[in-house]
Amino acid sequence: MEDAAIQGHLILLMAPSGSGKKKVIDGLGDVAEQIYFAKTFTSREPRDGTEENPKYIFISRAEFESMIANDEFIEWAEFSANLYGTPKSEFLIPLQAGRVVMKEMEMQGVQQIKSLLPKEKCTVVYIDAGSWENLKGRILSRAPISKEHLALRKQRFEEESKFKAQADVIIDNRNGKLDEAQAVFRQVVTDIVNENTN
């Protein structure tokens, strides 16, 4: 990306599975109206064939691979045989228009995007929900999950935890801390929005 074209600010939200990122985001309140939430394109099937999720755009694997070939993604990765990625347009258009853009992202994508943006235009927020045992309890309470899939989640948790120290902001969302986590995150985002509009 060309620095001169970036007028807005990008907030990258990084959080292991089960860390409560959706609930933390839900605590943004009115400030969420001033944020552009960048969407993820994915080749996976909608759950039950009817899933409507504002975070995702569902396309075929062939369409996704065509977009890769045309260099349309700013970042993409494959998890559990499904492709996930964010088109450049989901960042560039709103950032060039001076918007504050927020995106939940895996470690691999965060590293790719941080290398493309000037440091002052990007804030990485890590949501920390404590130990793996704590996260495992949350994951198991949500829905049935195979041992293999749980092992993959643990591996990703361990990898992402190593990246935590590189985040600009760490939000503590251990059990019982949701209200505090929401308040801290809301203030961080509000400050970025206010600074971006000045």
CATH of the domain at 76: 3.40.50.300
How many Å separate Cα 96 from the centre of its chain? 20
Give the Å distances, CA to CA, from 14 to 95, 128, 168, 178: 19, 9, 11, 16
Domain that holds residue 77: 3-197
Query: Has residue 80 got a pLDDT over 90?
Result: no
Q: Where do we find the tokens 């505090």?
A: 180
Average pLDDT of the chain, as a whole number: 87
Instruction: Map residue 60 onto helix, strand or coil.
Output: coil
Query: Has residue 143 got a pLDDT over 80?
Result: no
Higher model confidence: residue 21 or residue 5?
A: 21
Q: What is the mean pLDDT of residues 18-36?
A: 91
Q: What is the mean pLDDT of residues 75-98?
A: 89
**Residue 20 CB neighbour total at 10 angstroms:** 22
CA distance 70 to 98: 26
Q: At what angle do helices 147-163 and 107-114 cross, to 10 degrees?
A: 30
Looking at the structure of the chain, the number of domains it has is: 1
Whole-model pTM: value is 0.84
CA distance 119 to 103: 16
* Helix ranges restricted to H, 43-177: 61-69, 88-96, 107-114, 132-142, 147-163
For the chain, the farthest-separated pair of C-alpha atoms sits apart, in whole angstroms, at 50
Q: What is the mean pLDDT of residues 64-73?
A: 96
